[in-house]
Structure formats: C-alpha cells, structure tokens
Amino acid sequence: MEKRPLIGMTCYKRDPADNNIGNHYHLHDTYSNALHAVGATAVILPYTFDDWDILDGVLFCGGGDINPARGAYDKDDKGEAANVCDLRDDFETRLFHAANERELPMLGICRGCQFLNYVYGGKTVLDLAEAGYKENHRVTPFGVALHPIVPVEGTFAATMLKGRPGVASYHHQAVKTPGKGFKVTATSPEGVIEAIEHENGRIMAFQFHPERTGWPEPFAWLTELARKHLAAR
C-alpha cells in the first residue's frame, strides 16, 4: 500500500463547556475528512508539536482572530478582535517558519487565510462591518447557505468555482492588503478578498470554507504537493 503523505492541521484550544480558551484541543472533522478522502493522513497538531520533519504539508484551519498586538491590522481600524489565543498565534508562527524552511505546501482556510497573509507582511480588516462593508459573511445555516464570489479568470479559484453558485463562509475579518508574493484570486461582489495564491506555487488560501461544501479541489491540490514532498524525502 502506498504511503500517504502526512498533513498537519492547526486547531483551537478551548474549554468545551463555555467555548473560551481552555485545555481541550478542538477541530471540526470536515477538515480531516476532506484530506482523508483525497489520500492524505491528517493529524491535529498540539501547540507543543515540534517534530517538523515528519510533515509533508500543513493545513492552517479556521479559528479565532490574530492578536492585534502582533501588527496584523492597521492602527486606525475600528472594531475588536475576538477569541484571541496567543498560544495559537505563537505556535502557528513557529509552524509556518518550519514549514516554509522545508518548502512544504500550505493551505489556509478562514483564519488560516488571514494568518498566512499576515506572516508575509499583509494586513487584515479588523471588522468588515466597522470598515463599511454591507455584505453578510456570516451566512447561516453555515455550510448550506452560500454567498456569491467573483474569481479571477485563469486561477485555481476560477477553476474550482466554475459552475458553483457561491461559497460557505462565517467570518468578520478578511485580508485587507495582500502580503509579499500573494495575488488576489477571488473577491466578493463588494470587494472583500476571498482567495489568495502565493507566487511560490505551494501556498494557497481561502477566506471561505470548501470543506463545509464537500469541495475536494483544494485538499487534492495540497495532498498532491505533499505526496511529491514525501517522495523526495
């Protein structure tokens, strides 16, 4: 049996009783299900993880906001960050640098999109409503109701979204200015950035949630690059 590439997934740390930062690692199973379905082995990474060389790829998953003290937002932005976890910010920063040093493929979803953009020097909108956007990006029921999206022709996002009516999302922040090396590949009708791709060809990120709508393409892309990394080890 062919060995599956190992993809690490970032996660929340919370108290299941009240949803605040606590001592339980937590992640919705749609992420691991999506990776398993396309041939990867998916593992949740605790914040103590540092065995970087066993990984073939990384999925930066959704979650709380980046701490404003880290410089992810413009100082004059209005609004508040929610569910900030410094332990997660610290761990994901270490994880990114270790993965980037090893040239691992990386996929970001929701918070993961904002985080990957941030580590490349980009900025995040602190709160879409406070910034004047009128669209609803917390569309419910989550994973069923969709909102429209406008991809850039000739990009991965355009290929994935062809024939699909919209995306599932639940967020109050988004990429404001792309980080170094990133290009915008999809926006909402109002101009909220929904997808970015890096010029290095191994980092891609979406503000929306393809795992909630059963779209395999991003996870197949990540897994295929991870498989090539595994073969080269």
pLDDT over 90, % of the chain: 91
Answer whether residue 159 is part of any domain.
yes
Of the pLDDT bands very low, low, confident and very high (cuts 50, 70, 90), residue 58 is very high
**Tokens 């004059």 sit on residue:** 76
Answer whether residue 163 is part of any domain.
yes
- pLDDT, one tens digit per residue, over 170-217 is 999 999 999 999 999 999 999 999 999 999 999 999 999 999 999 999
Answer whether residue 75 is part of any domain.
yes
Question: Which range of residues forms the domain containing residue 126?
Answer: 6-232
* Global pTM value: 0.96
Closest CA to 48 of 30, 25, 21, 32: 25
Answer whether residue 213 is part of any domain.
yes
Which tokens belong to 142? 């989550």
What pLDDT score was predicted for residue 19? Answer: 66
Total number of domains in the chain: 1
Of the pLDDT bands very low, low, confident and very high (cuts 50, 70, 90), residue 14 is confident
Q: Strand pairing partners for 174? A: 125
CATH of the domain at 136: 3.40.50.880
Which tokens belong to 6? 């190992």
Task: Check if the beta carbon of residue 40 is closer than 8 Å to that of residue 223.
Answer: yes
Of the pLDDT bands very low, low, confident and very high (cuts 50, 70, 90), residue 13 is confident
Answer whether residue 16 is part of any domain.
yes
Q: From the centroid of its chain, how far is CA 41? A: 18
Answer whether residue 193 is part of any domain.
yes
What pLDDT score was predicted for residue 15? Answer: 73
What pLDDT score was predicted for residue 161? Answer: 94
- pLDDT, one tens digit per residue, over 126-148 is 999 999 999 999 999 998 989 99
Answer whether residue 118 is part of any domain.
yes
- Please list, residue by residue across 193-225, b when 16 or more beta carbons sit within 10 angstroms of its beta carbon and e when fewer do: bbbbbbeeebbbbbbbbbbbeebeebbbbbbeb
Answer whether residue 1 is part of any domain.
no
Number of H helices, E strands in the chain: 5, 12
Task: Check if the beta carbon of residue 96 is closer than 8 Å to that of residue 119.
Answer: yes
- Mean pLDDT rounded to a whole number for the chain: 95
